[in-house]
Amino acid sequence: MLIRVEHSRAYSYSEPLLSSTQYLRMTPLSSRTQTVESWKLACPGALTTPWQDQYGNLCHTLTVAEPVSELEIKVCGLVRTRDTNGVMGTAPQELSSAIYLRETPYTLTSGPIQDFASPQERRDRDIARGHARHRRGG
């Protein structure tokens, strides 16, 4: 089935909006159950910059750099759907849990925290060694 989508979101401000930044998630993706044949996002008076989030979704950053009293965001497009008899398929790949283990300037640990965690790290290593010995039959 071919579906035509038209959506708009209008904002009116009592005083001119001097600047604004918004993240827009208004763009569908093609998948096993649908194909996006055409899609357009428009917002007169603003700049939109496309980007992709960690899940593969197409997003836009909307930036208003000059004063405006009204703002209208419009999307329109054609999406062709496929009948899969209710079977949706698998979900997109989730983020690897390893992403939460990486060290960044915001996750640096102080000496007292490292001292606090050390006994647990030793227990975890000992348990892992025990499991490895058991698998080897030792």
Q: Convert the pLDDT of each residue in 95-127 to its tens digit.
A: 667 777 777 888 888 888 888 878 877 777 888
Q: Convert the pLDDT of each residue in 9-38 to its tens digit.
A: 999 999 999 999 999 999 999 988 899 999
Is 5 in contact with 74 (CB distance < 8 Å)? no
> Does residue 6 surpass a pLDDT of 90?
yes
C-alpha to C-alpha distance for 8 and 77, rounded to whole angstroms? 12
Nearest-Å Rg of the Cα atoms of the chain is 25
Q: Please give the average per-residue pLDDT across 63-76, as a whole number.
A: 94
Cβ atoms within 10 Å, residue 39: 17
Instruction: Please give the C-alpha separations between residue 126 and each of 38, 40, 63, 129, 131, in angstroms, as whole numbers.
Output: 57, 57, 53, 5, 9
Mean pLDDT of all residues belonging to the chain: 87
3, burial (CB in 10 Å: exposed 0-12, middle 13-18, buried 19+): exposed
> Does residue 94 surpass a pLDDT of 80?
no
Whether CATH 2.60.40 fits 2-81: yes
Higher-pLDDT residue of 132, 40:
40
Domain boundaries, the chain: 2-81, 110-138
